[in-house]
Chain A
C-alpha cells in the first residue's frame, strides 16, 4: 500500500492547474459571471484538446487511456477554478456522443431533478422532456427542472465529489489568505483564535473529504463513492460558508468570489447521489 499521488499524477494535476490558470483565470471567471448563460465554446474545445473529456477513453479510441484516479484529480482542479459547464455529463458521454471527446459537442444530462446547461447543449443524456427553466441561484450554471430521474451513475457521483473537493480546498486557501492579510485591532485576524479555528475546521473537512474521494477513485466501490460524495458535499458547502464568515462584510459582496463557490457547491449538492441518497445507501449496507 502506498496511498500517495504518483509523480505522474502530481504532474497531471499541476498541468491541469496551469492550463486552467491560463484559460480561465480570475478575469475570465468574472467575465463569465457578467455574461450569464453563455458557454465559452473555445474554452470547451481547449479542454477537449487537453484530453479533459477523453481522459478515460482507451488510447486506441483516441483517448488518453487514464483511469478514475486521474479523472478525479482533473475534476478537482475544475472545481477549484469554478470552471462552468456540464463537465461531468460531457466527460461521461465521451465514448458515445460524437464530438464530446474533443469538446466539440456540449452534452447535458438529466441528473436528479435538474439539468444543467440544457440550452447550450448539442446533446442530452436522459429524458429532459417537460424541462422547465428556473432562475438559477448560481450565475454560472443555468438550470432546468425535470420530473424525477432514474438511479445515479456512480462515476457521475464520484466526479461531482471531486469537483466539490476542489471547492473545499480552494475556499480553505481563500480563507487563510484573507486571514493573513486583513488586519483588525492592529493584528492580522488570523492571529485570533476564533478565526484560526474556523480555518482549521475548513482544512480538516477538506482533507477528510480528499482521502475519501481519492480512495473511492481507486476502489470504485459504490459505498466508498457514496461516502466520498457525502463528505465532499459537506466540505464544499460548509467550507464556503465558513470562508464567507472569515471574509466578513466583504464576503457578502458580489465582488468577492466566495458566493460563487457557495452557490456552485449548492448546485452540485443537488445532483443525484447526494447526502440523503448516500447516507441511505451506506445505512442499508450496514444493516445487511
Chain B
C-alpha cells in the first residue's frame, strides 16, 4: 500500500534558491529593458518565454520530487484471554465448554490473521501463553482462582502494544468481585456465554462487626443471593463448633434477602462460626450454601455480681477494691435487713429495695462474667432451682463463680447437697455441726501449687514474693471444710487446723466445664488491706490477689500459661500450616523444654496429633500439617514442664474451601459489559459474527509505514535543453521583431 505522499526539493539548498531568484530577477529586468519599443503583446510574449526558460533552469537545479510512504497492515497482538478457572465449568449452564467450542470453531487466526497476531492467553500475572491444542493439567477449567482484573492489568504492563483483548470468561473475578479494572490501554471484547440465570441460592456475604463483646448480643447479617429459583422461605442457621446457636427463616425475594442472626458470645478470643442456608431443590450447587467466619470476642468491662448476706468488712474491702478498678463493672447486692430485724418504720423511710432474685438468677445471669457469693446464705432469697442456673452459668457458659467464707457460707449457708456444692473446689459435706466455723487467728500457708500459681505471684522474684507473703497479718476465723474436690487445686491452707485429709484448705480453685470456681474459706482476707497497712505494709498483696483471682476466673488470656496463636487468616484447604504456641512456667517465665501435646480436628473428623518443636525459649511450633478440607477446625495444645501440668488452650478457626470458585455461579453479564465499556470495547453474545467483522475493520485501519518512495517527474537534462531552446526562441524573436 502507498500513502498520498508530499512534494519536496531534492536539491533545495538555500544558496541555489537564492541564486535562481537572482537569475530570475535579472532575466525579467533585462527582458523588460531589451523589449522597449515593441508592442505590448510581443513584449509580454518575450517576457513569458524568458520566464519559462528561467523556471526550467530552476527545476533542473532544484529537482522537485514527490515522496510517497509505503505502508502495510500493522498486525498488532490480539490477545484472546481464556478464563480457565473452575467456575467456568460448574453448573448445568457452565459457560466454559461453550466458549471453548466457539474458540475452536471461530478460527480467529484464519479470519483475523491478516490484521493481528492472535495469541491465546490464560489467567495470571503475567498471563501465560496457552497452546490451544493442549488442555491444562487437570482439564481446561481447573484453576482455583479467577484473577481477572489482575490478569488484564498485567497484560497492559507486559504487552502495552496489545491491540485488543477478546475475553472468554464468566466475569467472576475472585479477587475483586464485581469491580472491573479501569484505565486499560486496549479495548476488551468479552464474549458473553450463557442463556439465562443459573438456578442457585447462595450466601453472598456475612457481615460481622469488627469486634464483639463477651456476654453482649452480637448481630451477624447474612446476605443471600437467589437466581433462577422461585422466591420463598429459606432456613438460615448459625453454628459454633457444630452446635446451632441461632436459626432464622429468610423470606427470599427475586434477588435474595438479608437476614440477621443475633447471638451472645460467652468466651473471649477469636471464635469460629459457620452459617448454613438449607439448599433448595434444583440448585446448581450446594457448595455455596455455607460460609465460615471468625469473630474476635473481647471483654469491654468485666461484669461482676457481688451478693453478700450481710455487710462485713470483708465485703466492704472487696467491693472497694473492685470499684477502684475502672475495668470492672460491679453490681452489688447486700442484705441489709432480714425479716428478723425490727422495722419500726414505714417502708418509705427506708432506702432498702427488694432482692431481685428472678432478674438476677433467672434472666440476667449470663450477662455477668463472674458471680461472688460473699457470706451469703441463699435459702431465704434464692429458690434452690436457681442454683441450677448458676451451675449452667459456670459449666456451660464459661462464667466464674467464687464463694467467700463467713458464718453464712459453705455448710453454714446450707449449700450441702445443692447443685452448687458440686462445682465448688471444696468438699464441706458432713462438717460437724459444732465445727462449721473455726474461730481464732491463724497464719495461712501456701501449698506447692500456691507458691507457683499466678494468684499469689505478687512480685516478680520468688524471694520477694515469699517475703511479702510472710509479712501478711494473720487471718481471723475460717469455715470448716473437709478436703478439695477431685481435680481442684488448693493454693493456701490453714496448717493449724487438720482433718484426716490434711490441713484445712483456705483458697482453692477448680475448672468446671467451660468455667472456673474459686473458694476462699474465710471472711478475713481484708486483713491483708487495712491491718496490713497498720503494720507498715501496703495493700498491694490484697489488691493483686483479687485482681488476679478475678482475671483467672474470667479466663483472662494473659493469665494463661499455655496460649495458642491464631493461624493466619484466611486458611484454605490444602494449605500447609504451622501452628504456634507460647508456654510460660508457673513463674510466668518462658518455659523451655516443656512437653507439649495437642491435636487438630475438624468438627466431624478424627483428631490429627501434632508434633511440636521449640523455636525459641517458650515458643513452640507444630510440624507442618495440611488441612484436607474446609470447615471449622479446632486445635488444642497442652503443656507440662518438670512433671507439672501447666495448662491447655484451644482455638477454633475457619478453613475456607481450596478455592473461592463455586461461591457464585453463572455469567456476570454486568461485570463483562462494564469492563467492555470502561475499556472502549464492546461485549458480544456468543456466536455473534459481528465480533470478527468489528475486529477485522479495526485491524484494517491499523497500518504501519514500512518504507518511502521518491518520484521525480522531470529529469534535469531535458529541462536544461528546454531552457536552452526557450532562451534561443527569446533571442530569435527579439532579433526578428527588432529587425
Q: Do A and B make up one complex?
A: no
Chain A positions within 8 Å of B, measured between CB atoms, are none
Chain B positions within 8 Å of A, measured between CB atoms, are none
